[in-house]
Amino acid sequence: MDAATLCLLATGLFFLNGMLTGVWKYVAMARSDTATAPVYVDIAHRTSLMYAFSALVLHAFVPYSPLGPVGTLWAAGIPLLFFALAIGTYVLHGILRDTDNQLRKPYVLGRGRVPGVLLHGFMWALVLGEIGGFAILFWGFLQGL
């Protein structure tokens, strides 16, 4: 699979997830006395839609990559992986209803605790992976100006 195809696949999966989590959000709101959904159900819905369009942005920059096909696949694939992992984390917190802020201490996951080093390590890897992957593609675009 090439980088452009991967970006479009991710776009479709993220957008479909956004629509499905939108139904989940609606049902939760309809059943709630306060007409609200759990925080992470709402976050999963909104970020799925946002990342669908972010995957399209990556797709638009793939042709400008200064790397070969394999390098370009990595440059686009790493941000897409982190988008998917973030969405998955939000869905999991929505299912578990274990927190309304995953970055508030103590860091919880269900009935367990997540070590701070693991949570913050993941967050910094996400930052580097998402920004780094896009920066490579954007750099290729800038070189062509």
How far CA 141 is from CA of 2, 96, 135, in Å, comes to: 18, 42, 10
pLDDT for 98 equals 96
Distance CA 120, CA 61 (A): 29
* C-alpha triplet 70, 85, 109: angle, nearest 5°: 155
The model's pLDDT over 10-39, given as tens digits with 9 standing for 90+, comes to 999 999 999 999 999 999 999 999 999 999
Q: Is 121 exposed, middle or buried (0-12, 13-18, 19+ CB in 10 A)?
A: exposed
Which of 67, 86, 83 is closest to 136 using CA atoms? 67
Two structure tokens written together for 116? 């701070």
Banded model confidence at residue 116, pLDDT cuts 50, 70, 90: very high
pLDDT averaged over the chain?
Answer: 97
Distance CA 31, CA 14 (A): 25
